[in-house]
Chains A and B, each alone.
Chain A
Amino acid sequence: MKFRLALAAFAALAAAVVLFGNDYALTFTIQLFVFVVLAYAWNIIGGYTGYSHFGQMSFFGIGAYVGVLLMLHLKWHWLGAALAAGGAGLALAVPLGWIMLRLKGPFFAISLFGLTRVFEAVSFEWDALTGGGTGLYLPPINDQRMLYLALALLCLGMLMLTYWIDNSRFGLQLQAIRDDEGAAEALGIRTTRLKVTAFSLSAVPAAACGALFAAHLAFIDPPTAFAPVMEVTTIAMVLLGGLGTILGPAIGAVTFAVLNELLWSRFPDLYYGLVGLVVIACVLFMPRGIVSLLVRSRLIAPGRGAFRRIAARSGRAP
Chain B
Amino acid sequence: MKRIACTILALLAAALMASPAAAQKKPIVIGAALALTGNLADSGEHVRKAFVLWQEEVNAKGGLLGHPVEVKIYDDRSDGATAARLYERLITQDKVDLLLGPFGSASTSTATAVAEKHKRVFMNVAGASQSIHKRGFKYIFQVLPPITEYGAGVVPLMHQQGYKSMMIVTRDYAASRDMVDFWKVNAPRQGIEIKSIDFYPAGTSDYSNYIAKAKAQNPDAWISIAYPNESVEMVKQFKAAGYAPRMFVSQGVSQEDFLQALGKDAEYSMGMSPYEHTLPTRGNKEFVKAWVLKYKYLPGYYAAFGYGACKVLEEAVKKTGSLDQDKLRDTLSKLETETAFGPYKVDPQTGEQIAAKAVIVEILGGKREVIWPEKFKTAKTVLPYPAWDKRP
Instruction: Please list the residues of chain A having a beta carbon within 8 angstroms of any beta carbon in chain B.
Output: 2-3, 5-6, 9-10, 13, 21-28, 31, 120-121, 124-125, 127, 131-135, 137, 139-140, 142, 213, 216-219, 221-224, 227, 229, 247, 251, 254-255, 257-258, 261-262, 264-265, 268-269, 271-272, 294, 299-300
Chain B residues near A125 (CB, 8 Å)? 199
Residues A22 and B93 in contact in the complex (CB < 8 Å), given A217-B84, A218-B110, A265-B18: yes
Chain A residues near B93 (CB, 8 Å)? 22, 24-25
Q: Is the CB of B15 within 8 A of A223?
A: no
**A217, A254, A271, A299 — which one has the most chain B CB atoms within 10 A of its CB?**
A217
Residues A124 and B199 in contact in the complex (CB < 8 Å), given A24-B92, A139-B135, A268-B37: yes
A/B interface sample: 16 pairs, CB < 8 A: A13-B5, A23-B92, A25-B93, A27-B89, A133-B173, A133-B176, A133-B199, A134-B174, A135-B109, A137-B135, A140-B116, A219-B109, A224-B106, A251-B4, A251-B8, A258-B11
Contact of B174 among A21, A135, A229 (CB under 8 A): A135
Does more than half of chain A's interface fall in helix, strand or loop, or is it mixed? helix
CB distance from B131 to the nearest CB of A (A): 5
Q: Is the CB of A22 within 8 A of B129?
A: no
Q: Is the CB of B9 within 8 A of A127?
A: no
CB distance from A290 to the nearest CB of B (A): 9
Q: Is the CB of B113 within 8 A of A213?
A: no
Q: Is the CB of B116 within 8 A of A132?
A: no
Q: Is the CB of A27 within 8 A of B85?
A: yes
Residues A31 and B16 in contact in the complex (CB < 8 Å), given A24-B93, A135-B109, A219-B80: no
Chain B residues near A213 (CB, 8 Å)? 81
Q: Which of B100-130 contact A (CB under 8 A)?
A: 106, 109-110, 113-114, 116-118, 129
Chain A residues near B117 (CB, 8 Å)? 140, 142
Nearest to A301 among chain B residues (CB) is B1
Chain A residues near B37 (CB, 8 Å)? 268-269, 271-272
CB distance from B178 to the nearest CB of A (A): 7
Chain A residues near B3 (CB, 8 Å)? 299
Residues A124 and B113 in contact in the complex (CB < 8 Å), given A13-B12, A24-B92: no
Q: Is the CB of A229 within 8 A of B79?
A: yes
Chain B residues near A9 (CB, 8 Å)? 1-2, 4-5, 8-9
Bound CA span A201–B10, Å: 32
Q: Is the CB of A254 within 8 A of B109?
A: no
